[in-house]
Structure 1
């Protein structure tokens, strides 16, 4: 992989677009009830697969490697928890937590060569370690930030991203319930943070199959010998794994609901838009992986969306309030920004 200025510029530009879109892709859904999220996930993944189809055609249909689908399966499994996470601890805090563990898992697996991958080197290892360490510190700070998820009142200034209903609220104020509404305040916190950590770890493993294929393509005794080194060539297989897995989960959900799944027609178009934004952001991440390497792109792209999402959470959705929370957020932002910068400069 070339280290010239053009490659670095392309990589950082792709990272910037990915950060903006990842931090904003759920915004189109903010006014719509999404229930338990199972129907929404399937709609999101349908949009994701269609974007992948377009990309695949533009790339003239590169060879399809089934192993690359595994990363999509892992991502879809982690993504099932997104709606409950947002309903329990909010958009800003949810993305900050799962983004931190996503960064750590993705960085460590690439840096140390976990899961059969080749360990990736950087020109300034100390800066790279400092960046990863700061991500760990910021993750613990995020756990102490308390979010307030208000019941929808019809105001665009106070409507949360995913409508959440206060415990013991009047039925005529909040008519639709999901399983998270039966949890106490403490349980909300525990379940939301726990699911965010699990999702983050799964997200951090999503590129492992693709990196594995690329690394083994350089070996003459591997079945992947000669496989493409361009990450975007694996988008269609990766996204196909996402759509296939989400479809299986949705069918299982329909069976569990005795063929009476909770469907939300008004969330279809916003969900489709949200999935399209996510798919474009992920394509940009693939490009960043190619030009920067995952050991650099992971800490940057997983840290940035938290900043964007938290701004939505603070200024638009009013999920994070209070001087103490603001100060903790500011501290976490500076730490994670410093970590991202250290990681970026470790490549130069």
Structure 2
């Protein structure tokens, strides 16, 4: 009996430690994901990398992150909860709380769509001078500092930015599926993944390597399309490294949260939380969101998404 009590206490303490690590990792991830674009916000980043920079330029940091975070949530949560794309469905102690939390988070995404933003496009001359300029045959290869985003009307910006945010959210929400797939199939001796690690952080290097390779391919394609005249701005290089470092730390914390909480719990928390942080940056610092109507919509959305995250967290405990 004494042994059983000792073993049971050890199990309770172990579960408590796992939850503490998981929720702490989630908080760090939320803060850094919501702030990692701040270092590059005031610098001209040219055409950007696929979707993120154009989204920030078209609909702003706050609204952009709120939209893609919400679609990120739905994609990641649904794939984990229902076992999509060949991964095993994840169970929670209180599924009704989990469903309610995900539903509230999804509802907040709809409200965020009605928030209007004001994105400033004016930058100083020193911030918009490309680092790569062709000094030879300049008449043949004229470089304009104007991005394709600058040519869009306000309505076009809002539509394109929102659509790109939704697409980005779906892709973000799918990025952990290969890791979950390998972990689930590692228990099958007949699978090529038999015996693979069950610790999520062990897959960080492969995850980051895939991102680096993909970004390199995208950049090479961009250089080819631009006829070897990419828009690279010197003032954005160091802030870009800082932004990437913040993102990398946040992503590592997300891996930890997935490991100790499971993806079905971590996704609603980590995907909606950064939107709140980014919205605060957009309201308090960058003044992208103004007006009583927009403030009320944000407050309403926050009052919905916060209980949603809490319900999701309680569904695990």
TM-score past 0.5 threshold: yes
In 1: Cα distance, 2:156 partner to 2:207 partner: 34
Instruction: Choose which of 170, 177, 190 in structure 1 pairs with 2:146.
Output: 177
Is 1:33 equivalent to 2:3 in the alignment? no
Q: 2-side partners of 1:203 and 1:332: how far apart?
A: 22
Per-residue CA deviation, residues 38-58 of structure 1 (Å, 9 max, x unaligned), is: 4xxxxxxxxxxxxxxxxxxxx
SS of 1:36 mapped into structure 2? coil
Cα offset, 1:153, TM superposition: 6.5
RMSD of aligned Cα (Å): 1.5
Q: CA deviation at 1:29?
A: 1.0
Alignment-derived partner of residue 125 in structure 1: 95
* Residue equivalent to 2:57: 87
Show the 5 A alignment for 1:219-258: 219-258=188-227
Would you say 1:17 and 2:32 are equivalent positions? Answer: no
> Could you tell me how far 1:30 is from its partner in structure 2?
2.2
Query: 5 Å matches for 1:61-76?
Result: none
Instruction: Write the distance in 1 (CA, Å) between the matches of 2:148 and 2:272.
Output: 30
> Is 1:202 paired with 2:171?
yes
Structure 2: 5+ residue stretches without partners: 1-10, 125-143
User: Which position in structure 1 is the counterpart of 2:70?
Assistant: 100
1:334 alignment partner, one of 283, 288, 303: 303
Deviations 1:174-206 (A, max 9, x none): x83210111111111100111000100110000
Question: Could you tell me how far 1:291 is from its partner in structure 2?
Answer: 0.1
1:289 aligns to 2:300 (yes or no)? no
* TM-score computed with the length of structure 1 as normaliser: 0.81
Distance 1:153 1:263 in 2: 15
1:135 maps to what in 2? 105
Aligned to 1:169: none
Whole-Å separation in 1 of the counterparts to 2:93 and 2:238: 45
Q: Partners in 1 of 2:120 and 2:247 — Cα distance? A: 26
Shift of the alpha carbon at 1:31? 2.4
* Whole-angstrom CA distance in 1 between matches of 2:199 and 2:186: 12
Secondary structure of residue in 2 paired with 1:240: helix
Distance, in Å, in 1 between the alignment partners of 2:57 and 2:41 is 11
Which residue, out of 274, 297, 314, partners 1:305? 274
Cα deviation digits, residues 282-337 of structure 1 (max 9, x gap) = 00000000000000000000011011110100000000000000000001011111
CA distance in 1, matches of 2:190, 2:82: 23
State the SS of the aligned residue for 1:12: helix
Q: Displacement, 1:150?
A: 2.2
Distance 1:340 1:116 in 2: 26
Structure 1 residue runs of 5 or longer lacking an equivalent are: 39-79, 155-174
CA separation in 1, counterparts of 2:96 and 2:106? 15
Q: 1:96 to 1:271 in 2, by over 3 A?
A: same
Rounded Cα–Cα distance in structure 2 between residues aligned with 1:180 and 1:303 = 27
Partner residue, 1:322: 291
Q: How many residues align?
A: 288
Distance 2:145 2:60 in 1: 18
Could you state the TM-score of these two structures normalised by the residue count of structure 2? 0.88
Shift of 1:6: 0.4
Q: Which residue is equivalent to 2:118? A: 148
